[in-house]
Structure 1
Amino acid sequence: MDMLAQVHDCYHCGLPLPAAGAWKVQIGGVARAMCCPGCEAAAQAIVDMGLEDYYRTRSAFASTVDRQTLLPPELLLYDLPDAQQQFDLDAESAEATLTVEGIRCAACVWLIERRLARVPGVLAVNLNVATERLYVRWSKSSCKPSTVLQAVRDIGYAAYPYDAERHEAQLRRAGKTLFRQLFVAGLSMMQVMMYAVPAYIADDGTLDADMAGLMRWASLLLTIPAVCYSALPFFRGAYGYLRQRTLGMDVPVALGIAAAFGASVLAVWRGSGEVYFDSVTMFIFLLLCSRYLELVARRKAAGAVEKLQHALPASAARMPAYPGNHQVDVVAAAQLREGDYILVKPGEAIPADGEIVAGESSLDMSLLTGESAAMRKGQGDQVPGGAINIAQVIVLRVSKLAADSTLASLLKLIERAGNGKPRIALWADSVASWFVAALLLFAIAVFAFWQWHDPARAWPIAIAVLVVSCPCALSLATPTALAAATDRLVRQGVLLVQPHVLEVLHRTTHIVFDKTGTLTVGKPALQKVLTFDEMESAACLQFAAALEANSAHPLAQAIVAAADLTLLPEVIADEVVTQAGQGLEGLVDGIPYRLGNAAYVAELTGSSIQDQVPAGMTPVYLGCSGTWLARFDLADAIRSDAQQVVQHFQKLGKQVILLSGDQQAVAQYVADRLGIRVAHGGCLPEQKLAYVQQLQQQGAMVAMVGDGINDAAVLRAADVSFAMGSGAELAQTHADTVLLSPRLSAIADTAELAARTMRVIRQNLGWATAYNLIAIPAAAIGWINPWMSGVGMSLSSALVVLNALRLRRVSRLRFKPEPARLARPLRV
């Protein structure tokens, strides 16, 4: 055990123990004395994390534990080597996603980001106001995790590594606290108004002076709870800004409340002058209503992401002796290893990616793909973690650790999504910060003018100017709309990875599509059966499927899938022999049949065949001794909604282009079927990149849609890009947007929502600007009194938030897939 600690010193920090009341922690089976609750908490946390070796291997006490001058001991835990591993990004840098408590409005984001940007070693910082998550990247050589956490604490906020359950509990606490403050402010406002109304009515001097004085004192007592408790968020926010020598949204609000309340108290004490207790309580109540509405909006905007965070269950029913024994042990999902067998009952979420080895069921994958229809899965099918089993019991063999599952990869992308802001949001934040400074100077000037012109009106008019302004609406205009749109897209299976997508997408001039896996589904399907003999096409298809029944070749699987739709009795083939690159031969009812290319089948039929194969098709022939029976034309199936998407963008005046690595004939065939006028085949990845860059040099703004892996370079180069995401591809994509849904029409939905989002942002910014340009001069002239100012500011913020929330109600599946012409497995 550690030889540093002495009997009379704190075992954790080495400071002398107090004379009485020493705290103790069990370390290595021995009760170790601590000097204070802070050291006790830190030591107990080290033990609970399984890091007792820290005490055996340390060579010196942590001098930074001095609680008078340095960091809280619990923050030092994050500097321990084992704890820092969770933050490592590469050899030189680390990153973390943190939850921040105490965010009051969008301006808090600006303050926190500015403070952390000043910390030596911090390389990047971004705080998402909708989800209250802070992304920080720092240099490991010049910064520590505890330094980042302490910097946030220094300006009045609490930060800790993101944990879904803790974050949700924090949101609930914040909501309850804000509701209590709102309730107290509302109660004070109603009671104060009871005493204010008689004074307004009896303005002709009929109210007795003693009674008027009593009602003033009563109003003062009833206003104190609202100012001292309900208004605390505004005072704390203003204090935090002023400590950092910055001007935020809460500064004019706090000044307005303090000035109105202070002037009213002074008037009551003197027994003469105007009182504004009714205006103060109403102002606090209305502002808290607006802030509570904003909190609800943020929680709604982050709703889809929070559901994903909770999608994976914490435990799993592992079957350690399967298949010999079906006994089940309940273990933590994090303990699952590749090859483990797990039992999933109806109604349970699948804890990790795996393959179904027993059973058949329907799965709800709406959280992962946005598709509400259940998907039927059976033995041999791969299923992602996070899907919900809704029908029968199934047994899975785990194929990926929970940390590497499809959902985990998706959540990593979600953490990236929000680590940046579009230019329009940065502009709004910058304008809002300058707006506050200009407002304070203007309020001083207004006060000075009225003090010269009409001293009796100087104070209430200056208060009205401070109160009526609405920088919050200006700063909320963009992030609230973006958060609402992002939430809607996630629920539709579209994940925005980069912040500029919605801002840029509606301004694109060219939409460039890859073919395989994008416009097509990425696997062949039977398009047509052409018969050469009297045998019916459906029967030929059954014979071909019998020969291909045990083949894993993609063409074979397409023929078998098509045969399943014929509803004819199953045909059995025996003694099937495969010739690599040629085809296969087998016996059906004792008669030899061959299925494959023309040359291979001709060896059995004894004659060659002369026919014209349609462009873009792969032919597979069926024949028996002396007879050619049929030709099966297969091609990569075009997605059922591809033509709708192409036509949608063409109607918007955008040029649609097809770039493919396939032969020109195949690319042109798909382009002709979809109505795409420009198609280039035989393009290598570097040629696709050069083509897109050439378009950009000519002034085009390009959106690229690809499969996410082979098109990595061109996806990154495009102005905005989409990747068809699935499974392992999620972690490898370089696109700005990932389509979790199999619907290609999700791109058109995203484009439509992008246009609506920018309209809403422009409406919000326009309203906030127009409101301030009208309301502030009106207050300066004296047309608006303080309580009317509070109403105006609150309604302005509420209007911006409610307008943004309309984006969550955009109609879903506007572009519904038609019955596909090419995706249908057969035409016989």
Structure 2
Amino acid sequence: MTDTQAACFHCGEACEDDRFQVRWEGESRCVCCAGCQAVFELIHASGHARYYRFREGEGIRAPDSPERLAADWAAIDARPAYRGTPMGDGFNTLLLQVEGVHCAACAWLIRSRLEPLDGVRRASVDIASGYTQVEFDPERTPPSRLALELARFGYRPHLPLAGEAARSRLDERRLAMRRLGVAGLGMMQVMMYAVGLYAGDALGIGETARRFLEWTSLVVTLPVVAYAGLPFFRGAVAALRARRPGMDLPVALAISIAFVASTVNFLRGAGDVYFDSVVMFIFFLSIARFVQMNQRHRNAQAGAALARLMPEWAERLDNGTETRVPAADLVPGDRVRVKPGRAFPADGVIIDGRTRVDEAILTGESRPVLRERGDEVAAGAVNREQSVIVEVRRTGDDTAISTLGRRMLSARAGQQRPGMADRLSGYFIVAVLGTAVAALLYWGATDPARALSAMLAVLVVSCPCALALATPAALSAASRSLLARGVLLARGEALESLARADTVVFDKTGTLTEGQPVLSRVHLNPDRATPSVDRVEAVAAALEVESAHPLARAFSRSTGEIVATAVDHAPGRGLSGYVEERRYRLGTAEFAGAPAGKSDDGAWLADEEGWLAQFGFSDRLREDAGATVEALARRGLAPRILSGDGIPAVRETAAVLGIEDWQARQAPEDKIRALEALRAEGRVVLMVGDGVNDAPVLAAADASMTVHGAAELAQGAADMALVGAGLDGVRVAHDTALRTRRVIRQNLAWALAYNLLAVPLAFSGWLQPWMAALGMSLSSLLVVGNAARLART
């Protein structure tokens, strides 16, 4: 990346000021701000510059003032709730959510900077979730010192609010990775020994060599069975207790019988050993289980995403004195000051001041609404104009945004449906067990020497590896294909629902549109010698330059030499100020002194002699919105709009896109009811949205998707997320879903056909256990190979 390119070398954001430059490998690189420049220089000077060589993507924009962040943390250093959990030896363990972690290089950099600190014994980073666990002595290195070090290197630590659920997920992931590693290493070793044994059967092998290979196979297999295979034994026991046979039951039986029989045959020096089959079973099925665990954890991350929607700090008023405290410490009755541009830290009532509040997080309405003394405000909503004082009424899990999160999780729980393989597995398992018992009884009565071999051959040849891999292998390949084409798949099972979808429901603002107001028209006063369009835009931009109102972003920031002074905000009406010693007003028609009867749409600019111009705004459609809607309609997916926006805006967007069925002013519960009504008609619904208020309906839909830039809670609720800026990924995902359904059906058909052919051969005694193991392996490889076709884009 050269200095002529517009992306920051550290964080990837736009470089709007060429003053900030760094030197990397002899070349000048641009950075977006002094913060990113300072982080780069610190990483380079500390000897960790290779971080930039091995990272897999840009970081986040560096905190503006790491020292300010550390100062905030210093106020809570002595409080037990923020010092972690005592370990009994003078050290505590603290779990932090760190923003900006995206690859192994990030984890290496964090460990490299935290572990050398005095009092820090160990730091571990989970790349998938960003959780960083630190074992430290809070008396020698307080939490504020950890926060400062993270912030100095470009990461944003959040207050340690992660509960036991997050800690248990992290522990479960680490344990699963260790078990998968043991199974993988064991399988590689035992399969090497098995090649020698199989070759020996065909070409001849000395007894000493055979015994040595069998002995080493037993030694390697034992920890794989005892450690990596433990979850299957636990699952089998749980299934027996619940009297509901699951796929763990035949797996556990096959592993146990194969391992015990192999060990007995080895010790008595006669008969076949099947250690390779044992480790292969465990490894393949451990992969499927690990994938399922990751998907479950993604769904459970909604709580963390919800916490990050809330401000971490609040300005509490104590006897007239403003104190900065963690928002989690607020209780009903507290009074807080909320400044323009800040989010409300709790549900409450305004007791002093008036302002406009952006409530899109809850309602989806893109325009801020006026809130004044006596009006309620919701946690997470953003104050857009004036500083106000709020009395806290509800905090934590009692807030409206938390209720929204619980509604989302409830909807997600109601949508858990078994896939095709799951629906077949119950019948399949009962049939396999019944056939194995029948083989044991039949040969026990006719030829007892062949009874165990026949039963084991049935269990091995029919081990549900191919059936278990049929869906995960296809979903894994589909996931790779989608990611390469700009779609991140979070819940693979949703592809089955997406393939059956006949209705697609879009949110409007931020989904079909870009979600950013743009200046679409300027109407000058014809009765005055009005300045040019460029001049009135520049004056408006000068007045709005410090405003947090969403419409302020629609004006160009390029004001030249024009500077507004003495700018005064009139909440709910507009703002006024002086530009070149002339007083201007910008806001509603009434505030600007427009003639009676004039529309109050947009914004009006006036000076001391009357109104000068009216500005109109629009929310621009995404470039490929029309093509995407048309393509989906041709495939038979009826398009609809459910939006929290007002009727005129939704009507206009629907008309442009040719969507006849639309509904406006839809609160989250309204969207859920609309979805249920569609389901009552027998429809299968794909929901596409972006806002926090969309999270419940995204979770409740048969299949769901978020667009690029969506709120984190919405992403946590959705099955898929578009990585690119357009909407074409919706069509791509539907294409892939149809192909995936075909491949899954092919895999299941092969797995069932293979078992219908192989099980009778195993029952008859003609198929030896080693031949059954080979057939099972080839069957699994065929399933995986067929699924791999999906990865070709």
TM range (shorter): 0.5 to 0.7
Alignment CA distance shift 1:766-1:625 (3 Å): same
Identical amino acids, percent of aligned pairs: 34
Instruction: Spell out the pairing of 1:162-561 with structure 2 (5 A cutoff).
Output: 163-173=165-175, 175-176=177-178, 179-180=181-182, 200-201=202-203, 225=219, 230-232=224-226, 233=229, 247-249=245-247, 251-252=249-250, 275-277=271-273, 280-294=274-288, 297=291, 419=413, 422-425=416-419, 428-446=421-439, 460-475=453-468, 477-478=470-471, 501-516=494-509, 518-520=511-513, 524-531=517-524, 532=526, 533=529, 535-546=531-542, 554=549, 558=551, 560-561=552-553
Look up the match of 1:676.
Answer: 658
**What letter is aligned with 2:282?**
L
Shift of residue 527, structure 1, vs aligned partner: 0.8
Please tell me whether residue 572 in structure 1 is matched to residue 572 in structure 2: no
What one-letter code is carried by the residue in structure 1 that aligns with 2:658? I
Secondary structure, in 3 states, of the residue corresponding to 2:613? strand
CA distances 1:183-220 after superposition (whole Å, capped 9, x unpaired): 567656756775775565459xxx9xxxx6x7787677
Kept in 2, the 8 Å contact 1:283–1:790? The answer is: yes
Deviation at 1:281, TM superposition (A): 2.1
Distance 1:191 1:738, change over 3 A: closer
Identify if the C-alpha distance between structure 1 residues 245 and 568 changes in structure 2 by more than 3 Å, giving closer, same or farther: closer
Q: 1:216 to 1:623 in 2, by over 3 A?
A: closer
CA offset at residue 766 of structure 1?
Answer: 3.3
Q: Is the 8 A contact 1:593 1:622 kept in 2?
A: yes
1:336–1:719 distance in 2 versus 1, CA, 3 Å: same
Within a 5 Å distance, the mapping from 1:18-97 to structure 2 comes to none
CA–CA distance in structure 2, aligned partners of residues 454 and 242 of structure 1: 30
Give the count of matched residue pairs. 574
- Following superposition, the deviation at residue 468 of structure 1 comes to 0.8
2:614 equivalent in structure 1: 631
Return the letter of the residue paired with 1:288.
I
* Counterpart Cα distance in 2 of 1:247 and 1:699: 32
Quote the Cα distance in structure 1 between the aligned partners of 2:675 and 2:412.
Answer: 26
Q: How much has 1:730 moved relative to structure 2?
A: 4.8
Structure 1 residues 571 and 791, CA, compared in 2 at 3 Å: closer, same or farther? same
2:755 pairs, out of 743, 768, 772, with 772
Match of 2:635 in 1: 652
State whether residues 592 and 624 of structure 1, in contact with CA within 8 Å, keep that contact through their aligned partners in structure 2: yes
- Over 3 Å counting, the alpha-carbon distance change for 1:335 and 1:448 in structure 2 is same
Residue equivalent to 2:149 = none
TM-score (norm 1): 0.51
The amino acid of 1:568's aligned partner reads G
The alignment's C-alpha RMSD in Å is 6.6
Cα distance change on mapping 1:585 and 1:482 into 2, 3 Å: same
- 1:754–1:220 CA distance, 2 compared to 1 (3 A): closer
Distance 2:647 2:336 in 1: 46
In the alignment, which residue of structure 2 is the partner of 1:124? Answer: none
CA distance in 2, matches of 1:310, 1:651: 39
Instruction: Kindly indicate whether the alpha-carbon contact (under 8 Å) linking 2:594 and 2:610 is maintained by their aligned counterparts in 1.
Output: no
1:647, distance to aligned residue in structure 2 (A): 3.6
Q: Which residue of 2 aligns with 1:376?
A: none
Distance 1:285 1:340, change over 3 A: farther
Is the 2:314–2:327 contact (alpha carbons within 8 Å) kept by the matching residues of 1?
no
User: How far is the alpha carbon of 1:676 from its aligned partner?
Assistant: 1.9
Distance in 2 (CA, whole Å) between partners of 1:270 and 1:663 is 81
Aligned partner letter, 1:285? V
Once residues 734 and 268 of structure 1 are traced to their aligned partners in structure 2, the CA distance between those partners, rounded to angstroms, is 51
Secondary structure at 1:630 match in 2:
strand
Bigger Cα displacement from structure 2, 475-484 vs 526-535? 475-484
Q: Is the 8 A contact 1:664 1:682 kept in 2?
A: yes
Change (3 A) 1:402 1:476: farther
8 Å contact from structure 1 (residues 286, 791) kept in 2:
no
**Matched-pair contact (CA < 8 Å) for 2:506–2:642:** yes
Equivalent pair of 2:562/2:579 in contact (CA under 8 Å):
no
**Partner Cα distance (1:417, 1:690) in 2:** 12
Residues 332-371 of structure 1, C-alpha deviation per residue, up to 9 Å, x if partnerless? 9977999999xxxxxxxxxx99xxxxxxxxxxxxxx9xxx
Q: How far did residue 466 of structure 1 move?
A: 1.9
CA displacement at 1:585 relative to structure 2:
6.8
The CA distance in 2 between the partners of 1:291 and 1:495, in whole Å, is 21
- AA matched with 1:650: A
Deviations 1:252-272 (A, max 9, x none): 45655666677778888998x
Residues 659 and 680, structure 1, Cα contact 8 Å, conserved in 2: yes
Contact 2:408 2:697 in 1 (8 A): no
Offset at 1:538? 0.9
1:786 matched to which residue of 2?
769
**1:482 to partner: Cα distance:** 6.5
Give the CA deviation at 1:420. Answer: 5.9
Q: CA deviation at 1:435?
A: 1.9
CA distance in 2, matches of 1:603, 1:180: 76
| CA distance 1:534–1:291, shift in 2 (3 Å) | same
Deviation at 1:797, TM superposition (A): 4.8
Deviation at 1:805, TM superposition (A): 9.0
Show CA shifts across 1:129-163 (max 9, x none): x99xxxxxxxxxxxxxxxxxxxxxxxxxxxxx954
Cα–Cα, structure 1 residues 481 and 320, in superposed 2: closer, same or farther, change >3 Å?
A: farther
Which sections of structure 2, spanning at least 5 residues, go unmatched? 1-79, 82-127, 130-162, 318-322, 338-344, 347-360, 362-378, 381-391
Task: Name the counterpart of 2:123.
Answer: none
Conserved in 2, the CA contact under 8 Å of 1:184 and 1:225? no
Change (3 A) 1:570 1:627: same
Return closer, same or farther for 1:434/1:512 CA change in 2, 3 Å cut-off. closer
Query: What CA distance in whole angstroms lies between the structure 2 residues aligned with 1:570 and 1:215?
Result: 90
**Contact 1:521/1:637, CA 8 A, preserved across alignment:** yes
CA shift, 1:290, in A, is: 2.1
Cα distance, 1:504–1:339 mapped onto 2, change above 3 Å? farther
* 1:581-730 equivalences in 2 (<5 Å): 588-589=579-580, 618-622=601-605, 629-639=612-622, 642-658=625-641, 666-673=649-656, 675-678=657-660, 700-703=683-686, 730=713
Q: Distance in 2 between matches of 1:659 and 1:785?
A: 61
Distance (whole Å) between structure 2 residues aligned to residue 195 and residue 681 of structure 1: 69
* Shift in CA distance, 254/410, structure 1 to aligned 2, threshold 3 Å: same
Code of the aligned partner of 1:570: I
Aligned equivalents of 1:238 and 1:626: distance in 2?
A: 84
**Counterpart-to-counterpart distance in 2, 1:575 and 1:522:** 27
- Secondary structure of the corresponding residue to residue 618 of structure 1: coil
What amino acid is the match of 2:618? A
